[in-house]
């Protein structure tokens, strides 16, 4: 799968999850959804590379000498950013569920 295909897949998934959210909230998180899809696609490519070469470069003669791969550093930064975005998006979803429950409680 290509990076573009991975991006489209993640974007579609997140848009489906947020399909029933109030339009103003959806507009508010639209950029976060796109950023999450972008990071997911970027990490898809980085992960493929890291699977082949590993996350750490070892000196051929002196195994105790090692150096982290730059792609591994970026992968970890992206994972952290992605998880923060997903946590934020999840908070919006949970807030939407609570708001819907509050409307229903008026009829009890």
Q: Return the structure tokens found at 25.
A: 């909230």
pTM: 0.81
- Percent of the chain exceeding pLDDT 90 equals 66
Q: How far is Cα of residue 40 from the mean position of the Cα atoms in its chain?
A: 5
> For the segment 42-92, what is each residue's pLDDT rounded down to a tens digit?
999 999 999 999 999 888 888 888 898 999 999 999 999 999 999 999 999
pLDDT score of 15: 96
Q: Return the structure tokens found at 78.
A: 């992206």
Q: Can you tell me the distance from the alpha carbon of 10 to that of 34, in angstroms, rounded to the nearest whole number?
A: 9
Burial class for 11, CB neighbours closer than 10 Å (0-12, 13-18, 19+): middle
Q: Residue 104: pLDDT above 80?
A: no
């Amino acid at each position: 799968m290509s990076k573009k295909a991975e991006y489209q897949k993640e974007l579609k998934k997140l848009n489906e999850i947020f399909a029933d959210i109030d339009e103003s909230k959806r507009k508010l998180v639209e950029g976060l959804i796109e950023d999450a899809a972008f990071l997911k696609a970027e990490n898809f490519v980085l992960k493929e590379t890291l699977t082949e070469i590993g996350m750490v470069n070892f000196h051929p003669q002196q195994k105790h000498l090692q150096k982290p791969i730059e792609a591994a550093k970026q992968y970890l930064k992206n994972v952290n950013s992605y998880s923060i975005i997903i946590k934020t998006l999840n908070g919006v979803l949970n807030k939407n569920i609570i708001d819907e429950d509050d409307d229903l409680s008026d009829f009890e």
